[in-house]
């Protein structure tokens, strides 16, 4: 008997301690969630929903705004009672009497947990809880998030009136097709203001809150009508409609009309995406830059941006689709060579994905021969070569691995002047020249242009773009800016400054300064050679009609057994006013997804189209040099000017001697490397 009593006592003690532990956990959790709720930005929700971040262009004109997950904000008096009653009847019948949560809803959720074996299936949340989730929490389903949601709902009820909460909820709800808020949804689906909705239309919008895609009347009219009729029945049960009124609404035809006009953020999507991404690098979160009412002053030129987008909208400007219908991707970026400010950008073809992959700024592909001016020809000029120096054009092998570059044409001329080697993108001459000046000389030159090569890529193949980690159009446009502006490397950027809602400047890029990386005469000589690219070289088919442009083309080969074509194609072209870098290729390259043929049917048409669109709006500043071929022809000996001819011969002799000394030096240095 004594043992039994002792056993019962011990059990009682264990139960008591268990209860105490559970109560302690509950109290601690309550204290924690209460603290989290009280320190959340509950007070700022309404102002956040009402404000928007304004984007200004390079001339300080409004270019658009960032709304994030919110639409045109309207007060409750501007929202038809029909939509209010439909939402209350479906989402939260006790809204005006509950404390922000529903005991029945919580019990229903717990029952669902049991039925679905611990899986959180959603539902059971009041309108206040949904507002808390949509504005202060993530959409992730978890026990922790559900608990936070409940405590935040209580805090919302303390801070705001029921009228305010319902207004914020209706302005923040998602209604499909990229539309947030009841006002924009009314315009999108019915071509009218939210204040004008009737019972049928109000119930249709309320239906979409359950599933914006499944109950969308544009794509699924039958689903929308079925759900609408169910909600009209619930409104009768909730005494918001009579049976007669509900029946009339069920019989009404849904006349769809789209009068919705997206904010200007949709006009320049890739530029605005880039602004958000750059703001994050400056320490402002994505959520804040979208929602906190900043004024963002950018480098955008709306005219250039519009013209670039127009060129990209024409599929005829692009390579043919792959056999399975997959389209080639492409991207382009325009930069002010003086300031480094990005003037325009298109990050991909096809439907824009909000903050999706931007090929113009995030791509890492081989630059092909566009690397030659940066790695080979610029340092060659600095080491004694001249634009008309004679280069070797032979099929030669180099090093222990017998690296043997070949020309795309399969032909060789034995020798040719440097300006022709560059303009015609002669591979053998570029590799021969890099071998003469030294690979490390080329690597150091690239570094000055802001491009780093991995150790394993520091070899002769890099002269042709043979690198394992490639570069983006933004990186290439920045590098070529040094040729356009006389030798300075700028810092590319989308944002000039950001001012917060109080008027305080929180980001200031006015301190972005360019640094000299090459001498002005070297930049001038490089430009004179690269003018030939579009006059008589590999870029003639990409040359914009009526305009003089300098630059370089590039491509990367595919394995011979794939067929005749390339992986990537590039054009980087510039004037003194603008640098444009354009790339095209397949997102995933393989034997069935590569660019057929040459750049004439690939990247050339899009570059030509966008430049012909953009250049008329530029200042059209002239180059301060002639094409290298013209310069070479001007230096042809003239019998009437023997004195000048003698001096020219002396200069040529000195240059030749300097070139030979540099060649000997680099050959000797190579023996020790």
The one catalytic residue among 274, 369, 472, 525: 369
The Cα–Cα gap between 228 and 185 comes to 16
**Nearest alpha-carbon partner for 555 in 537, 568, 538, 540:** 568
Q: Is 7 exposed, middle or buried (0-12, 13-18, 19+ CB in 10 A)?
A: exposed
Helix and strand numbers, DSSP H then E, in the chain: 25, 15
The Cα–Cα gap between 300 and 651 comes to 47
Within 10 angstroms of residue 259's Cβ, the number of other Cβ atoms is: 13
What tokens does 163 get? 């009228």
Among left, alpha and beta (phi > 0; psi -120 to 50; other), residue 178 is left
- How many residues would you count in the chain? 673
- Establish how many alpha carbons lie within 13 A of residue 648's alpha carbon, considering only the half-sphere containing its beta carbon: 12
**Nearest alpha-carbon partner for 262 in 272, 275, 274, 251:** 272
Cβ atoms of 625 and 524 within 8 Å: the answer is yes
The one catalytic residue among 91, 382, 600, 663: 91
What tokens does 507 get? 């980001």
What tokens does 475 get? 């990186």
The Cα–Cα gap between 152 and 226 comes to 34
Q: Is 10 exposed, middle or buried (0-12, 13-18, 19+ CB in 10 A)?
A: exposed
State how far Cα 653 lies from the chain centre. Answer: 52
The Cα–Cα gap between 152 and 32 comes to 12
The Cα–Cα gap between 287 and 196 comes to 32
- How large is the greatest C-alpha to C-alpha distance in the chain, in angstroms? 136
Cβ atoms of 451 and 473 within 8 Å: the answer is no
The beta-strand segments (E) located in 84-226 are none
Q: What are phi and psi of 130, to 5 degrees?
A: -65, -40
Cβ atoms of 205 and 256 within 8 Å: the answer is no
91 among known catalytic residues: yes
The Cα–Cα gap between 35 and 151 comes to 9
The Cα–Cα gap between 537 and 369 comes to 13
**Nearest alpha-carbon partner for 545 in 561, 557, 534, 536:** 534
Cβ atoms of 341 and 333 within 8 Å: the answer is no
> Hey, which residues are catalytic here?
91, 369
């Amino acid at each position: 008997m004594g043992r039994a009593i002792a056993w019962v006592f011990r059990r009682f003690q264990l139960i008591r301690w268990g209860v105490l532990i559970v109560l302690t956990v509950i109290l601690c959790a309550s204290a924690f969630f209460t603290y989290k709720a009280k320190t959340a930005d509950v007070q700022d929700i309404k102002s956040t929903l009402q404000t928007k971040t304004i984007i200004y262009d390079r001339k300080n004109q409004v270019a658009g705004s960032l709304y994030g997950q919110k639409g045109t904000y309207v007060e409750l008096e501007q929202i038809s009672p029909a939509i209010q009653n439909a939402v209350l009847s479906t989402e939260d019948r006790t809204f005006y009497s509950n404390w922000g949560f529903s005991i029945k809803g919580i019990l229903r959720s717990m029952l669902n947990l049991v039925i679905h074996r611990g899986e959180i299936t959603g539902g059971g949340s009041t309108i206040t809880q949904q507002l808390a989730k949509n504005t202060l929490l993530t959409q992730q389903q978890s026990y922790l998030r559900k608990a936070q949601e409940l405590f935040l709902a209580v805090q919302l009820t303390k801070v705001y009136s029921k009228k305010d909460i319902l207004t914020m909820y209706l302005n923040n709800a998602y209604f499909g097709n990229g539309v947030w808020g009841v006002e924009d949804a009314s315009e999108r689906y019915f071509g009218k203001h939210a204040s004008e909705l009737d019972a049928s239309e109000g119930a249709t919008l309320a239906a979409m809150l359950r599933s914006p895609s499944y109950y969308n009347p544009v794509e699924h009219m039958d689903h929308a009508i079925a759900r609408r009729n169910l909600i009209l029945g619930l409104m009768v049960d909730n005494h918001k409609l009579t049976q007669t009124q509900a029946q009339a609404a069920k019989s009404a035809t849904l006349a769809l009309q789209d009068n919705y006009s997206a904010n200007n953020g949709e006009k320049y999507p890739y530029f605005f995406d880039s602004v958000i991404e750059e703001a994050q690098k400056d320490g402002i979160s994505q959520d804040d830059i979208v929602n906190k009412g900043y004024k963002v002053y950018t480098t955008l030129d709306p005219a250039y941006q519009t013209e670039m987008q127009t060129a990209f909208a024409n599929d005829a400007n692009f390579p043919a689709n792959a056999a399975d219908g997959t389209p080639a991707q492409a991207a382009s970026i325009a930069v002010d060579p003086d300031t480094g400010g990005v003037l325009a950008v298109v990050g991909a073809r096809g439907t824009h994905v909000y903050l999706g992959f931007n090929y113009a700024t995030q791509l890492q592909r081989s630059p092909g021969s566009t690397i030659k001016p940066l790695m080979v020809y610029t340092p060659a000029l600095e080491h004694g070569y001249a634009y008309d120096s004679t280069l070797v054009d032979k099929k030669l092998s180099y090093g222990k691995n017998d690296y043997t570059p070949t020309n795309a044409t399969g032909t060789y001329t034995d020798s040719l002047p440097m300006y022709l080697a560059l303009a015609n993108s002669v591979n053998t001459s570029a590799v021969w020249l890099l071998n003469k000046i030294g690979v490390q000389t080329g690597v150091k030159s690239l570094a000055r242009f802001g491009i780093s090569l991995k150790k394993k890529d520091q070899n002769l193949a890099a002269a042709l773009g043979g690198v394992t980690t490639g570069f983006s159009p933004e990186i290439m446009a920045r590098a070529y800016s040094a040729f356009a502006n006389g030798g300075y490397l700028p810092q590319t950027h989308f944002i000039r400054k950001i001012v917060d809602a109080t008027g305080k400047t929180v980001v200031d890029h006015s301190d972005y300064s360019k640094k000299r990386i090459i001498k002005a005469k070297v930049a001038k000589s490089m430009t004179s050679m690269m003018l030939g690219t579009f006059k008589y070289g590999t870029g003639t088919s990409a040359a914009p009609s009526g305009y003089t442009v300098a630059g370089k083309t590039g491509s990367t080969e595919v394995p011979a057994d794939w067929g005749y074509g390339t992986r990537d194609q590039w054009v980087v072209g510039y004037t003194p006013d603008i640098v444009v870098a354009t790339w095209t290729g397949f997102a995933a390259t393989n034997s069935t997804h590569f660019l057929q043929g040459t750049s004439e049917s690939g990247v050339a048409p899009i570059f030509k189209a966008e430049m012909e669109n953009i250049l008329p709006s530029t200042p059209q500043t002239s180059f301060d040099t002639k094409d290298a071929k013209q310069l070479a022809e001007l230096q042809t000996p003239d019998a009437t000017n023997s004195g000048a001819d003698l001096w020219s011969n002396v200069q040529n002799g000195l240059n030749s001697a300097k070139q030979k000394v540099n060649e000997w030096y680099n050959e000797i240095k190579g023996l020790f490397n």
